[in-house]
Amino acid sequence: MAALRSHEPFRLEFMRLSEYKYKNYRFLGCSEGGVHTAMGLPQYKLLFDIGVGHTKLTDYQRLLLTHGHLDHSSGLAYYISQRALRRLDPPDIYCPPELADPLKRIFDIWAEIEGFEAGYNLHPVEYDRYYKIQGNVHFKAIPSIHRVPSNGYTILEKTRKLKEEFQDLPGHEIAVLKNKRNDLFYDHENPIVTFSGDTQIEFVLQNELVRRSKILFLECTYVDEKRPVERARQWGHIHLFEIAQHAEAFRDVERLFLIHFSPRYKQEVIIQQIKEILPDWLAEKTTPFLYSRDIRNVNPPARK
Ligand SMILES: [Zn+2]
Ligand SMILES: [Zn+2]
């Protein structure tokens, strides 16, 4: 191991954020099973989970929390407090309904400890409801399967489409019909990004919206035979073997980001296993979300 030069500050591994891009989407975050998971989407100014907290992630005003396990949620009080300190708008925090009361109790206690009441808006999610982000872009919470109350989230575009039986009609006839009846169009959902949180694989298998997502962030905690599939399932997690077994469910996904790998694995092992275990066509569109090799762009500059 190379010795640290005395003028270089020591950077803790877990403080690193990685940045990945797909087409014009950017993702800034970190994810390691049982350690920390947080993911920022700059173009929608929102976060999936907050992990253990990070100064860079307090910029995001909207937080979509998947569940209360501390590797996903322990940075909450810091996030709220930092935003208040920086005089930013109070955050909107969405969470599984069962979490709202206990979270509120925790925030009350932190306010007492800090001697300061930081503002926040807590929203227990309603499933099947569309929450507006901007324009025709919305998000929806989707129940997942874990050891505690949990859900994932899908960001989608909502459009109105003309029903097939009217598609051959000329424009002026449609205009006339539009005044007479209101059943010409149907709602179409175009899922852009889904973030699973921690879950069993049924989250994918049971939800068409998840399978149609252009970009899917999927938990994959275990990748080799040392941890059998059954054990992974008992703990409410996904094994890489299950993704291979259900590969067909991922046909429509354009980019599959795998997150939440157990820290027991070296990065090289994860990459190798993805290549070996998944069918080629799926491995090609799969990206393991790992520590970035070059962190200069996403971490504060080193002190001189
Ligand atoms: Zn976790
Ligand atoms: Zn968990």
pLDDT in tens, 20-30: 999 999 999 99
165 lies in some domain: yes
Q: Which of 41, 97, 89, 96 is nearest to 67 (CA)?
A: 96
8 lies in some domain: no
* CA gap 247, 245 in Å, rounded: 6
Ligand 1 centroid to Cα of residue 219, in Å, is 8
Q: Which of the two residues, 103 and 163, has the higher pLDDT score? A: 103
* CA gap 72, 86 in Å, rounded: 23
Q: Which of 145, 141, 290 is nearest to 232 (CA)?
A: 145
226 lies in some domain: yes
β-sheet bridge partners, residue 138: 132, 156
Per the structure, the complete domain to which residue 189 belongs is given by 21-288
Helices (H), the chain: 70-73, 76-85, 100-114, 171-180, 202-205, 208-211, 229-234, 240-245, 267-277, 280-284
In this prediction, residues 262-288 reach a mean pLDDT of 96
141 lies in some domain: yes
Q: What percent of the chain has pLDDT over 90?
A: 79
302 lies in some domain: no
Give the global pTM.
0.88
By the 8 A CB rule, do 123 and 91 touch?
no
Ligand 1 centroid to Cα of residue 4, in Å, is 31
Q: What percent of the chain has pLDDT over 70?
A: 91
Ligand 2 centroid to Cα of residue 87, in Å, is 32
Domain CATH code at residue 119? 3.60.15.10
What pLDDT does 6 receive? 53
By the 8 A CB rule, do 213 and 154 touch?
yes
If pLDDT is split at 50, 70 and 90, which confidence band does 296 have? very low
pLDDT score of 302 more than 50: no
pLDDT score of 14 more than 80: no
Ligand 1 centroid to Cα of residue 139, in Å, is 22
Q: Which of 238, 195, 203, 265 is nearest to 51 (CA)?
A: 195
14 lies in some domain: no
Ligand 2 centroid to Cα of residue 63, in Å, is 17
7 lies in some domain: no
What pLDDT does 165 receive? 87
Ligand 1 centroid to Cα of residue 84, in Å, is 27
In this prediction, residues 57-82 reach a mean pLDDT of 97
Ligand 2 centroid to Cα of residue 198, in Å, is 5
| Token pair belonging to 286 | 């799969």
SS3 132: strand
What pLDDT does 7 receive? 56
Q: How many domains does the chain have?
A: 1
The beta strands (E) that lie in 23-150 are given as 25-32, 36-41, 46-50, 62-64, 92-95, 121-124, 131-134, 137-143
294 lies in some domain: no
Nearest listed ligand to the Cα of residue 235: 2
